[in-house]
Amino acid sequence: MQDEKTVYLTFDDGPSHNTARILNILQQHNVPATFFVNGYDTDFSHQMYQRIVNEGHQLGNHTYSHDYEKIYQSPEAFIEDVEKLQDFLETSTGVRPEVFRFPAGSNNQIYRRVQQDNPYLMIEIKQLLREKELPYFDWNASSTDAAAVTLDTDIIIKNTLKHVAGHQNAIILFHDSAAKSTTVEALPTIIRRLESLGYHFDVLTPDSFYVHFNYLLF
């Protein structure tokens, strides 16, 4: 339906013990989400990857290492790290991710600092992602939970709802790393408030609504 309002809950940097808590909340509310994960070769992490898949969520690629100094050295270094996670997750879960998110987003200052000699680095990386048929997703609403190691719960709720306001389709950035306990605490209220505003929830797919940040060479 043209007037349908959709929200996409996305979680970056996991899995951690907070991922398990978030999955429990999503299950209670019957809400799907997209998890842009990194590579952690532990029994617990493998359990979380499998839970994400088994419970109907989208498993996304956020690079294996999330090491800015490493991945932003060159297009080849970046794609090698991406492919390492693709293979790792496919081996772990049987699912090869179909969606991707750049560490720090597709237009950030970090890669400019790491690789000052190649202003076209991000363009070249994006071309390689297209060749791999791996679409990337930025966001148009933020929980701002990255503004502090552990941001106050009420601030996360307030900022998330403020940033979603006015969007017919909202891709919300959250984080589920180990420090983000207040993101977990804020999530049930955010879900209830968004439902009351008429939003339905969906996962990101190669064919779904997307956000790409504007890219500037200099």
Domains annotated for the chain, with CATH where assigned, are 5-201 (3.20.20.370)
Token pair, residue 149, equals 């190691």
Calculate mean pLDDT across residues 170-199: 98
Q: Give the Cα separation of 166 and 151 in Å (integer).
A: 24
Neighbours of 95 (CB within 10 A): 15
Indicate whether 214 pLDDT > 90: no
> For 11-20, what is each residue's pLDDT tens digit?
999 999 999 9
User: Residue 8: beta bridge partners?
Assistant: 171
Strand blocks (E) in 114-168: 141-142
Give 116-137 pLDDT, tens digit per residue.
Answer: 778 888 999 999 999 999 999 9
Cα-only R_g, the chain = 17
Specify the pLDDT at position 2.
59
CB atoms near residue 139 (< 10 Å)? 19
Share of the chain above pLDDT 70, in %: 97
Nearest to 166 by CA among 196, 146, 137, 140: 140
Q: At what angle do helices 43-54 and 75-93 cross, to 10 degrees?
A: 80
- What is the C-alpha to C-alpha distance for residues 157 and 77, in angstroms, rounded to an integer? 37
Residue 218 has pLDDT above 50, yes or no: no
At residue 118, the pLDDT reads: 83
ω into 15 cis (within 30 of 0): yes
Residues in the chain: 218
Return all residues near 107 (Cβ < 8 A) that are at least 6 apart: 122, 138, 213, 214, 215, 216
Check: CB of residue 135 under 8 Å from CB of residue 100: yes
Token pair for 93: 């879960």
Q: Answer whether 19's CB lies under 8 Å from 48's CB.
A: yes
Using one digit for the tens of pLDDT, what is the confidence trace for 62-111? 999 999 999 999 999 999 999 999 999 999 999 999 999 999 999 887 77
